[in-house]
Amino acid sequence: MVLGPGQVIRSDDYHTAGEPFRIVDAGPMEGETVLDRRSWAIENLDDLRRFLVAEPRGHAGMYGGFVVPADEGGDLGVVFFHNAGFSTACGHGTIALATWAIDTGLITARGPSASLVVDVPSGRLTIEATLADDRVISVRFTNVPAFATATNLEIDTSVGPVAIDVAFGGAFYASLAVDELPISVSAEDLGTLISVSREIQAATTDATVARHLDNRLSGVYGTIFHETVGDDPLHQLNVTVFADGQVDRSPCGSGTSARLALLYDAGLIAIGEEFRHDGIAGGRFSARVEEVNPDGVVTSVEGSAYRHATTSFYLDSRDPLREGFLLR
């Protein structure tokens, strides 16, 4: 059982460009690093993850994070969770978490900006928040180095053969341009997009193009379906499908970093040039390549998060559904 009689779990809920992020302090976790604590959470907190994600408390698109101590020198850490487990990176969640940290006074902020360091399973992120009237207006995080691993990799799918590109932005993503395909980035095509994403993930299981030096970061996490807005290659509309057919309402922060790595490798974007990445719910991330080093492309991504709920969760011992259920 997740909760005993009289026990309560509190969450602060935000959304970033329409994508939810449920922030919870689940108490101490074992491990020397945030990545270690993620491994511990996989083994010990999966029932709590299901409790917080599943209906009637959540839904198949719910996302969240457990607040944990930072690695040495950081301000705070986070272990991300979704409908199928625990992810290694989450840009929209990072934006929400930084906003929450300032909103709650965990990080003291005075003046027009504030800086903080957040440790996530994929590494250390430096963050700059822009404020007005002591409120967070936007958050820009500088991500771990991103890098491309494959281009024009052909996959057979239910919509025909497609060519995907693979890149790492804290997690590995397959990118698929839909401009010339019989599908689009739209709510009407979500069912097909989810099916194709599952086909791509199945076809890339254990693929060498998605192997990381730390195997805990390996594997294709999701598929970024993207199309060009107008004729500007640096303005794209996308929807990312990840985990168990989960749809990212935001433009996907770590996926945006992966897209930048591919754009840079293709010679389509220069250092410091703006990339506008729109999500299916209408939100936008502004991103750029900050520098290039031997580890890859260092990117930054900016967006805004908004608090919409503070909730206390209980579990009635008589409840036959207990940890909940997921319907689509």
Model confidence at 110, pLDDT cuts 50, 70, 90, reads: confident
Burial class (CB in 10 A: 0-12, 13-18, 19+), 68: buried
Give the C-alpha distances (Å, rounded to integers) separating 304 from 80, 169, 282: 18, 19, 13
Alpha-carbon distance of 249 to 239, in angstroms, equals 7
Q: What angle do CA 98, 82, 130 make, to 5 degrees?
A: 15
Handedness of CA 114, 118, 122, 123 (dihedral sign): positive
Asked if residues 31 and 39 have their Cβ atoms less than 8 Å apart, the reply is: yes
Predicted local distance difference test score (pLDDT) of residue 205: 85
CA distance readout (Å), 208 to 69, 204, 205, 220, 233 = 33, 9, 9, 10, 28
3-class DSSP assignment, residue 307:
strand
The one-letter amino acid at 268 = L
Residue 149 pLDDT greater than 70, yes or no: yes
d(CA 177, CA 262): 12
Q: Is the pLDDT of residue 1 over 70?
A: no
Rounded to the nearest 5°, which phi and psi values hold at 95?
-65, -45
Rounded average pLDDT over 8-26: 97
Mean pLDDT in the chain?
A: 96
Q: What are the structure tokens assigned to 15, written together? A: 């959304």
| Amino acid in the structure at residue 69 | P
pLDDT tops 80 at residue 325: yes
The DSSP annotation for 173-223 comes to EEEEE-TTSS--SSGGGHHHHHHHHHHHHHHTTT-GGG--SSGGG-SEEEE
pLDDT, position 294? 97
pLDDT digits (tens, 9 = 90+) for 215-233: 888 999 999 999 999 999 9
Q: What confidence category does residue 15 fall into, taking pLDDT thresholds of 50, 70 and 90?
A: very high
Percent of the chain at pLDDT exceeding 70:
100
CA–CA separation, 90 and 77 (whole Å): 12
Dump pLDDT digits (tens) for 41-74: 999 999 999 999 999 999 999 999 999 999 999 9
Q: What is the mean pLDDT of residues 141-156?
A: 97
H or E element, residue 124: strand 123-132
Percent of residues, the chain, with pLDDT higher than 90? 92
Confidence of residue 310 (pLDDT cuts 50, 70, 90): very high
Structure tokens at 52: 């917080």
By CB atoms closer than 10 A (0-12, 13-18, 19+), residue 186 is middle
The residues that are catalytic are 90
| Placement of tokens 């999701």 in the chain | 222
241, pLDDT greater than 90? yes
Helix (H, G, I), strand (E, B) or coil at 259: helix
> What is the mean pLDDT of the segment spanning 199-225?
91
Could you tell me the pLDDT band of residue 328, with boundaries at 50, 70 and 90? confident
> Would strands 9-16 and 305-313 be described as parallel, antiparallel, or unpaired?
antiparallel
Residue 207 confidence (pLDDT) above 60: yes
